[in-house]
Homo-oligomer: A and B are copies of this chain.
Amino acid sequence: MVVVMAEGATDAQVEQVVGQLVAMGFDVHRSTGAARVILGAVGGSERAEPALIELLDGVREVVRITEPYKLASRSFRPEGTVVTIGDVRIGGDEVVVMAGPCAVESEAQVRAAAAAVKRAGAKILRGGAFKPRSSPYSFQGLGEEGLRLLRWAADEQNLKVVSEVMDVAQVELLARYSDVMQVGARNMQNFTLLRELGHLRKPILLKRGIAATIEEWLLSAEYVLAGGNPDVILCERGIRTFENYTRNTLDISAIPVVKKLSHLPIIADPSHGTGRRDKVAPMARAAVAAGADGLIIEVHCDPDHALSDGAQSLFPAQFDRLMAELRIIAPAIGRSICVEPVTRRGWAR
């Protein structure tokens, strides 16, 4: 850390700060200017709290100079991480689209959605079986039966599966059915859960909390990485601001910022990020234009009767058009979106 002493700080005050820093295990470099002294402290303990130094007499400001995250830092793997799920690669040249219903509601619903999103070019089927809902009176998901239906529908279309895990006790169950384990925004700092997922051998999709700084988000990724699981995919899904026309404000600028700070792939969720169907396509296009490695989008064949989040789910035809628009945009940044002819297996809508 760098300690900036106040103008007029006494020698005794400087000595006290130096003493405390040394006691914390730091090497201290002193730089004496005309008006003030600056102390550079390197090598100290992880646990040293800059705030403690800040309270000492004569100290004007303390600045931390190492990111608190290490394994998540771009400098740890400058070339970038590609997360591989079978033949799907997230973080490579292709922009990968995950799509499907907010919640799994029935066999017919999830199969229809899977067929629709596959047709349009999605690679991964999304669907919630356990839903974290603000109100205890809202639909809470089908549980394991939902996972079973989701897996079946995905397999039928040769899609991978991503679904949300809400609690340590659900990890084993989710891991049986899902290829990617989603950690929701509300659980971004559920450290018990993150630690558990660090021991898993499955990719984790880590959503950003609605008021999390990017540093906190990367620190949460660090919990997973530090546990031994190298495959974290970050997902921007909107932050809370004073603006009420949209449910959240999808922070598109987080995409280039994360790309610079971290080697981890980052995708965007324009469905939760806006909460309104008519805003999903513009924000999805914006995310890809800004450099996102992928998208996760809610698609429902009958959103007006969806049990949750129907208002932000696209109709299949809207999703088709969006995918076509994305295919035009991706080359502007040297990316592509899958266009191979799709062989439909089994049940079609």
Contact = CB atoms under 8 A, between A and B. Distances in A.
Interface string A221-258: 01100100000000000011111111001111111110
A93 to B, nearest CB: 16
Contact of A211 (B240, B250, B252): B240
B277 A283 contact: no
Interface in A12-31: 20, 27, 29-31
Given A256-B282, A285-B290, A245 B214 contact: yes
Given A274-B253, A287-B286, A289-B286, A304 B52 contact: yes
Contacts of A42: 33-36, 38
B210 A4 contact: no
A343 interface: no
A332 interface: yes
A73 to B, nearest CB: 10
A251 B243 CA distance: 10
Interface residues of A, number: 115
A170 to B, nearest CB: 8
A7 interface: yes
Nearest to A42: B33
Contacts of A133: 191
A172 B261 CA distance: 41
A190 interface: yes
B68 A137 contact: yes
28 contacts: A2-B63, A36-B42, A47-B137, A47-B139, A51-B276, A51-B310, A52-B303, A52-B306, A55-B277, A55-B311, A134-B219, A134-B220, A137-B226, A167-B193, A169-B169, A186-B189, A211-B211, A213-B245, A239-B243, A239-B249, A245-B257, A245-B261, A246-B257, A250-B253, A252-B252, A252-B286, A283-B290, A325-B332
Given A46-B137, A49-B311, A255-B282, 14 more contacts: A33-B40, A34-B43, A46-B138, A136-B223, A168-B169, A211-B211, A213-B242, A214-B243, A245-B261, A246-B257, A249-B249, A252-B282, A256-B278, A286-B287
